[in-house]
Structure 1
Amino acid sequence: MSGEPDITDELRQELRHRIRPMRGRNPRERGRTTTPLELLYDLTYVVAFAAASDLLAQQLSHGDIWPALGAYVFAVWAVSWAWLNFTWFASAYGNDDLLFRIATIVQMIGVIVLTYGLPVSFERAAHGESPNNMLMVIGYIIMRVPQILLWLRAAREDPSHRKNAYSYVLIISIAQVGWLLTAIVPLPVGVTVTALVVLALFEMIAPVVATRSYGYSPWNAGHLAERFALLTLITIGEVIAGTTAAVAALTQEAGWSPEAVLIASSGLVMAAAVWWTYFLVPSRLVLERRPERAFPWRYAHLALFGSIAAIGAGLHLTTIAMEHGGVSLLGIALALAVPLAITIVLIFLTWSVLLRSFDRTHLPLLLVTLAPLAAAVVVGAVTHPGEAVDLEQPGSLTTLSVVIGLVAAGAVIEVVGHELVGYGHTLRAWRAGAALQAGSVGAGPRLADGDGASGS
């Protein structure tokens, strides 16, 4: 014998995708990683976020600010919420068998169909109509109906979590009927938009209520932390794509210059700073020990995905301004500074939710970080107010570079500040929480048991 271990069983599990039992994964399994199927699924969201970002930039360039923002929020929520629900299920029951793979691929088709409906959504919003449309609804339903079937399967094959699974079946089914009705029933715009908000709130609140009544499904907190981090990286990719497009437009118009190098560097610095800041939040380490904190933590990400992708939209708007004009320097400054500021605040809130701590000593750092962003807006407001950016005008390229450079400086300050003081804040918050728990249960920090993750 060669002495090599027999890997027959591992090969059979890896290569034979017949029907397997869907009895739930181990919620306390350490070291669980994202599967190739999950990575393939995420690729469709690259397209969806890119489309939403581009359409937001185009509508902003036309001056349709509030309709564009409304359509963008609606689009990002629909895409992110469907992704979140699939990820939640896959973490609990993903067995990579034939049926699970087919259901996942069908959901990917739904993402693409919904993406085709985004231009109609933004156009309708620009004309004062509801951003919802039949193509988006069909795509969303294609994304969600396979989840209903998967939850029914989990209910049949995992008796210990049957009530929880049935609650998801009921919630998703009711929501899909509601979304369909908003697209086919002719109602005033205000009533339709109100119905969309109510449906979105129902989809987010109902699972929390059901979980409190019927317990948790066996999702893995560490696996969820990795999955959310990967989608965050996808949205950061929109910032890099926006930087590349802006610099390409600039160099085609005026050739390479110090300003072009500054804009390219600033865009990449923004992307790197958002990445750096996000991963200063110790999501996996904390969630593996406090999995019950995953619910509020995940909801904080819904807005975070949108704000990061909106930074990319700001860079796309810069590209439009350089190629076609029609956009003021103030508009560019706001399109870059506002989403970056929101992203920084949301990361801080995510940290606060995760550690269950609100560190007031972080507020001075937050103000220092926001100062360059505010300065960028001021520069945009006082430089040729009311006029569109014109690269032929002397000094225009320099002031544009100053605005982008100031926004990037705010991102750098956030990273430096976190590295200098954020580390200590996180340690203090964790120790304080551990001491509080020790005082209430008579024990030190421990790994949460199945009550926090599996509903057992």
Structure 2
Amino acid sequence: MAEVPPLRTRMLARDPSAQHRAATPLELLFDLCFVAAVGQAAAQLHHGVSEGHTAGTLLGYLMVFFAIWWAWMNFTWFASAYDTDDVPYRALTLVQMAGVLVLAAGVPAAFRDYDFTIATIGYVVMRVALVAQWLRAAREHPEGRPCTLRYAVGIGLCQVAWIGRLWLPHPWGEIGFAVLAVAEMLVPVIAERRMQTAWHPRHIAERYGLFTIIVLGEVVLAVTAGIQEDVADGGWSAGLLEIGTGGLLMIFAMWWIYFKHTVSDHLRDSLTRAIAWGYGHYLVFGGIAAVGAGLEVVIDSHAHKAHLGAAGAALSVAVPLLVYLVVLSVLHVQLVHAGGLMVLATIVGGALLLSTAGMADTLTVEFATLLMGVEMMLVLVAGLVIQHTEPRARELADRRL
């Protein structure tokens, strides 16, 4: 029988060293609501790039994805420290889930007309609900009150500014977005400077890993839908099989590369490392979702529906793959001290991806996609070999000394 949540309990900081701290069913439901917004952003990126409007579409994607990622991240770290799982906590989480669905509904207008009104309203709803959570923590957990109040005040002020930004004309609206994005990211840095909240490192690592899997699942769904549409129009072909195989290899390689290191033991070593890990995932999550959009662009190119050449379509996959590899490599170097050979493997792999995409006009976009999938697997294999041989080599060198 499912456990009935208490009507209300005191919101105290959780033990950051507690054993068996795992993601809750509520957190998983929360993630699924966010995937709806991620899917909308990736779909709009796919259509914009496929129609040849790459620059403007990419800017819109980065702006929308920031709102999605930042709201998800803030809830995740708060829940890791102050999840009481009582009725008020669940109710405020429901409000945040409603906010992300409003944001998702506003994504098409943000891309099509550069109208961020609905998306901003959804974002502010999520953030105001989180302010209420921080204020509750400040009232019921006196030991952490200075930190929690800094969060509540900082987030609250930013929301007032987000609403005001809606009246800024182009290009001041975009400049205001950048300024407010920086202001939002400074709030945790300032709030946790003297005292860190009691977030759990293994719980945080698990939450990020689960969301990575969910975004990868969104890529699978997007590519499957694109292939099914093409099959319905013209039937199966060798080119579609090449795209599908290459996409599957990319997804599998991205999954394994992400999970081949354990980072939870190092997250609480310093605030800088925790911030780097959390913030770096803007590009990790955004890169994964963009790979799905790029693969759909490749499918459009195969069906002669895309308004850009084969090389452009292939680059729409290669570039986000490169971003994913580079950012994740930097994070792993910082947190688990992955050596220079791992960075070298990433650089070589990225160069191969870009060169293959650049030759898509000659190779065909379908074969280039298959080759990029193989190259991602080679990056994975190289990383696994380095991961197992570098410690042994260092041990032998130490013995000789």
| TM-score (norm: length of structure 2) | 0.92
For the Cα contact (< 8 Å) 1:57–1:314, is it kept in 2? Answer: yes
The aligned amino acid for 1:237 is G
Give the match for residue 75 of structure 2: 86
Question: Which of 311-320 and 157-166 deviates more?
Answer: 311-320
Q: Does 1:324 align with 2:305?
A: yes
RMSD in angstroms over aligned alpha carbons? 2.2
Query: How many angstroms does 1:373 deviate by?
Result: 1.1
Query: How many angstroms does 1:222 deviate by?
Result: 0.8
What does 1:151-230 correspond to in 2, within 5 Å? 151-183=134-166, 185=167, 187-213=168-194, 215-230=195-210
Q: How has the CA–CA distance of structure 1 residues 287 and 363 changed in structure 2, closer, same or farther, with 3 Å as cutoff? A: closer
Q: How has the CA–CA distance of structure 1 residues 291 and 225 changed in structure 2, closer, same or farther, with 3 Å as cutoff? A: farther
Query: How many angstroms does 1:287 deviate by?
Result: 2.9
Q: Does 1:74 align with 2:63?
A: yes
Give unmatched runs, 5+ long, in structure 2: 396-401
Give the match for residue 306 of structure 1: 286
Give unmatched runs, 5+ long, in structure 1: 1-10, 125-130, 384-397, 431-456
Q: Does 1:33 align with 2:22?
A: yes
Q: How has the CA–CA distance of structure 1 residues 425 and 224 changed in structure 2, closer, same or farther, with 3 Å as cutoff? A: farther
Query: How many angstroms does 1:304 deviate by?
Result: 0.9
What is the aligned-residue identity percentage?
34
Query: How many angstroms does 1:290 deviate by?
Result: 6.5
Aligned length: 394
The aligned amino acid for 2:165 is T
Q: How has the CA–CA distance of structure 1 residues 18 and 332 changed in structure 2, closer, same or farther, with 3 Å as cutoff? A: same
Query: How many angstroms does 1:249 deviate by?
Result: 3.3
Q: How has the CA–CA distance of structure 1 residues 242 and 315 changed in structure 2, closer, same or farther, with 3 Å as cutoff? A: farther
Query: How many angstroms does 1:251 deviate by?
Result: 2.5
| TM-score (norm: length of structure 1) | 0.82
Q: Tell me how far apart the structure 2 counterparts of residues 298 and 288 of structure 1 sit (CA, whole Å).
A: 12
Give the match for residue 454 of structure 1: none
For the Cα contact (< 8 Å) 1:112–1:139, is it kept in 2? Answer: yes
Give the match for residue 341 of structure 2: 361
Q: Does 1:348 align with 2:329?
A: yes
**SS of 1:324 mapped into structure 2:** coil
Q: Tell me how far apart the structure 1 counterparts of residues 126 and 292 of structure 2 sit (CA, whole Å).
A: 25
Query: How many angstroms does 1:293 deviate by?
Result: 2.7
**SS of 1:189 mapped into structure 2:** coil
CA deviations on 1:293-313 (whole Å, 9 max, x unpaired) are 322211111111101100001
The aligned amino acid for 1:248 is Q
Q: Tell me how far apart the structure 2 counterparts of residues 429 and 117 of structure 1 sit (CA, whole Å).
A: 53
Q: Tell me how far apart the structure 2 counterparts of residues 427 and 133 of structure 1 sit (CA, whole Å).
A: 53
Give the match for residue 450 of structure 1: none
Q: Tell me how far apart the structure 1 counterparts of residues 36 and 299 of structure 2 sit (CA, whole Å).
A: 19
CA deviations on 1:55-83 (whole Å, 9 max, x unpaired) are 00111122211110100000111000000
Query: How many angstroms does 1:429 deviate by?
Result: 9.8
Q: Tell me how far apart the structure 1 counterparts of residues 179 and 36 of structure 2 sit (CA, whole Å).
A: 27
**SS of 2:373 mapped into structure 1:** helix
Q: How has the CA–CA distance of structure 1 residues 333 and 429 changed in structure 2, closer, same or farther, with 3 Å as cutoff? A: farther
Q: How has the CA–CA distance of structure 1 residues 248 and 140 changed in structure 2, closer, same or farther, with 3 Å as cutoff? A: same
The aligned amino acid for 1:247 is I
Q: Tell me how far apart the structure 2 counterparts of residues 249 and 329 of structure 1 sit (CA, whole Å).
A: 20
For the Cα contact (< 8 Å) 1:333–1:403, is it kept in 2? Answer: yes
Q: Tell me how far apart the structure 2 counterparts of residues 301 and 412 of structure 1 sit (CA, whole Å).
A: 22
Query: How many angstroms does 1:354 deviate by?
Result: 1.4
CA deviations on 1:225-247 (whole Å, 9 max, x unpaired) are 10011111111112212321232
Query: How many angstroms does 1:221 deviate by?
Result: 1.0
Query: How many angstroms does 1:176 deviate by?
Result: 0.1
CA deviations on 1:365-408 (whole Å, 9 max, x unpaired) are 1233124312322222x44xxxxxxxxxxxxxx72321111211
Q: How has the CA–CA distance of structure 1 residues 86 and 379 changed in structure 2, closer, same or farther, with 3 Å as cutoff? A: same
Give the match for residue 245 of structure 2: 265
Query: How many angstroms does 1:209 deviate by?
Result: 2.0
Give the match for residue 436 of structure 1: none
Q: How has the CA–CA distance of structure 1 residues 73 and 255 changed in structure 2, closer, same or farther, with 3 Å as cutoff? A: same
- Partner of residue 111 from structure 1, selected from 76, 100, 105: 100
Give the match for residue 262 of structure 2: 282
Q: Tell me how far apart the structure 2 counterparts of residues 78 and 108 of structure 1 sit (CA, whole Å).
A: 14
CA deviations on 1:138-188 (whole Å, 9 max, x unpaired) are 1001111111111111001101100000000111101000100001x2x33
CA deviations on 1:71-110 (whole Å, 9 max, x unpaired) are 0000111000000001111111111100000101110010
Query: How many angstroms does 1:258 deviate by?
Result: 3.4
- Partner of residue 336 from structure 1, selected from 317, 320, 333: 317
The aligned amino acid for 1:70 is L
The aligned amino acid for 1:412 is M
Q: Tell me how far apart the structure 2 counterparts of residues 90 and 428 of structure 1 sit (CA, whole Å).
A: 41
